[in-house]
Amino acid sequence: MEYSDIASVAGKGGLFKVIKPTRTGVILESLDDARKKLIANATQRISVLSDISIYTTDQEGSTPLPDIFKTIFDEFEDDPGIDSNSDTDELKAFLKHVLPEYDEQRVYPSDIKKLVSWYKILLKEAPELIKNGNQDASAESTDQ
């Protein structure tokens, strides 16, 4: 599994594995114990994790989510010390520790909650992704 195989659907909690495309959308399966299937159509906002990044104030302007997950794992391994129910100040301090150059004006506490929640889901359901880092990006860099 790769980051490009995992998606988030607006309005739905959690993460979903992309099973296969259909004529009008895509079939997804939840990454939890229930393994519920969902058919997402073209009107729903679906974001693949490999395409999501966090705004930063540095020259690049953003950092890919897989890189942030790898940084969190390198620093905290399986216990980041917070969860999605933590205080807003704790969440901001956590992200500031992990990604010091994150843009505090454009990254909301709800975004940090999703980041922490998704990290814990991936750690449970697809730990090889986090432990091995951003394989999608490393595959692209070896092609050049």
Q: How many Å is the Cα radius of gyration of the chain?
A: 15
Domain 3-49 matches domain 52-135 at the CATH topology level: no
Residue 18, CB-side half-sphere exposure with 13 Å CA sphere: 20
The CATH number for 3-49, chosen from 2.30.30.730, 1.10.40.30, 1.10.10.10, 3.30.700.30, is 2.30.30.730
Fold of the domain spanning 52-135: Arc Repressor Mutant, subunit A (1.10.10)
Instruction: Say whether pLDDT at 140 is over 80.
Output: no
Rounded (10°) CA dihedral 46, 77, 101, 107: 40
Instruction: List the domain boundaries for the chain.
Output: 3-49, 52-135
CB atoms within 10 A of CB 11: 6
Q: What is the pLDDT of residue 54?
A: 93
Place of tokens 């975004």: 111
Tell me the pLDDT tens digit for each residue of 63-121: 999 999 999 898 888 888 888 888 899 999 999 999 999 999 999 999 999 999 999 98
**In this predicted model, what pLDDT tens digit does every residue of 6-38 receive, in sequence order?**
998 888 888 999 998 888 889 898 888 778 888
Residue 142 has pLDDT above 50, yes or no: no
Amino acid at 89: D
